[in-house]
């Protein structure tokens, strides 16, 4: 059975401040769904709602045939949903390998997790060389790799990435995009929030554009690119 992560007519926000208005999206397995929008459009709020950090005001979240709307955030990784937040949220006073082992707590025993570490080192070879280094001593790009590898240790069916390219050199961005392509080939669904439109669209299967918390476009990535729709939305002009 195909397991799709879905938001259905979600309105969400922070306390009395509503950020999302009737937003729906789908993240199928083996596809990359990209969420675009200007600052403040509601991109991060979308991920936090799917992760269970924010409880929606209305609407529902589904993973396959299971409704997750009221499932707390700490239980969602074990169900197969992982979030890499913006800002390289890792344990900087722990080694690279210790960070990876922490990422496995929701899905497997420490003994089993050690077998999976080699998979992460295959994805990010530089981390194998740095395995005994404190994560805080790594470059920004390497820390982002640790954050992604840590999330993958939980064996997610869907990986959500919040602006993984932020503050990184172009060469590192290309490496992360290459990893996203590999994950897609492995059948993992990827929900990617990005500011770098061209780079995000190079890996996208579908795209959702948010404008002031509402869906301005949702559909096939190739169709959006061919009509210059994204440019018109970002510039606030009509198509």
Question: Can you give the three-state secondary structure of 2-26, one letter per residue?
Answer: CCCEEEEEEEEEECCEEEEEEEEEE
List pLDDT tens digits, range 168-210.
889 999 999 999 999 999 999 999 999 888 899 999 999 999 9
Angle at 152 between CA 97 and CA 150, to 5 degrees: 35
* pLDDT over threshold 70, residue 232: no
202: which 2 tokens?
A: 């190079």
CB 124, CB 145: distance < 8 Å: yes
Predicted TM-score (pTM) of the model is: 0.90
Long-range contacts from 168-171, C-beta under 8 angstroms, 24+ separation: 168/140, 168/141, 168/144, 169/141
* pLDDT over threshold 90, residue 110: no
CB atoms within 10 A of CB 105: 14
Distance, CA of 203 to CA of 125 (rounded, Å): 21
List pLDDT tens digits, range 48-73.
999 999 999 999 999 999 999 999 99
Superfamily covering domain 5-80+157-235: P-loop containing nucleotide triphosphate hydrolases (3.40.50.300)
Q: How far is residue 218 CA from its own chain's centroid?
A: 18
Residue 33 is given by DSSP the state E
pLDDT category at 239 given cuts 50, 70, 90 is very low
Q: Which of 106, 99, 102 is nearest to 80 (CA)?
A: 106
Those residues with Cβ within 8 angstroms of residue 215's Cβ, 6 or more apart along the chain or in another chain: 22, 23, 24, 208, 209
Q: What percent of the chain has pLDDT over 70?
A: 89
């Amino acid at each position: 059975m195909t397991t799709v992560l879905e938001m259905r007519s979600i309105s969400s926000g922070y306390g009395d401040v509503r950020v999302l208005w009737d937003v729906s999206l789908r993240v199928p397995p083996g596809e990359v769904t990209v969420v675009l929008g200007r600052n403040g459009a509601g991109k991060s709020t979308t991920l936090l709602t799917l992760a269970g950090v924010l409880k929606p005001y209305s609407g529902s979240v589904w993973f396959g045939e299971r409704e997750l709307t009221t499932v707390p955030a700490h239980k969602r990784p074990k169900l197969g949903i992982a979030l890499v937040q913006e800002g390289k949220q890792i344990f900087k006073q722990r080694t690279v390998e210790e960070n990876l082992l922490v990422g496995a707590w929701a899905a497997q025993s420490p003994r089993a997790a050690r077998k999976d570490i080699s998979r992460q080192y295959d994805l990010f070879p530089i981390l194998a060389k740095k395995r005994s280094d404190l994560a805080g001593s790594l470059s920004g790009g390497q820390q982002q790799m640790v954050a992604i590898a840590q999330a993958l240790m939980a064996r997610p069916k869907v990986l959500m990435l919040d602006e993984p390219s932020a503050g990184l050199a172009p060469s590192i961005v290309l490496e992360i995009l290459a990893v996203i392509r590999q994950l897609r080939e492995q059948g993992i669904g990827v929900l990617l929030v990005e500011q770098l439109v061209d780079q995000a669209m190079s890996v996208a299967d579908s795209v959702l554009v948010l404008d002031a918390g509402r869906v301005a476009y949702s559909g096939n990535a190739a169709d959006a690119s061919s009509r210059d729709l994204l440019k018109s939305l970002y510039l606030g002009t009509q198509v």
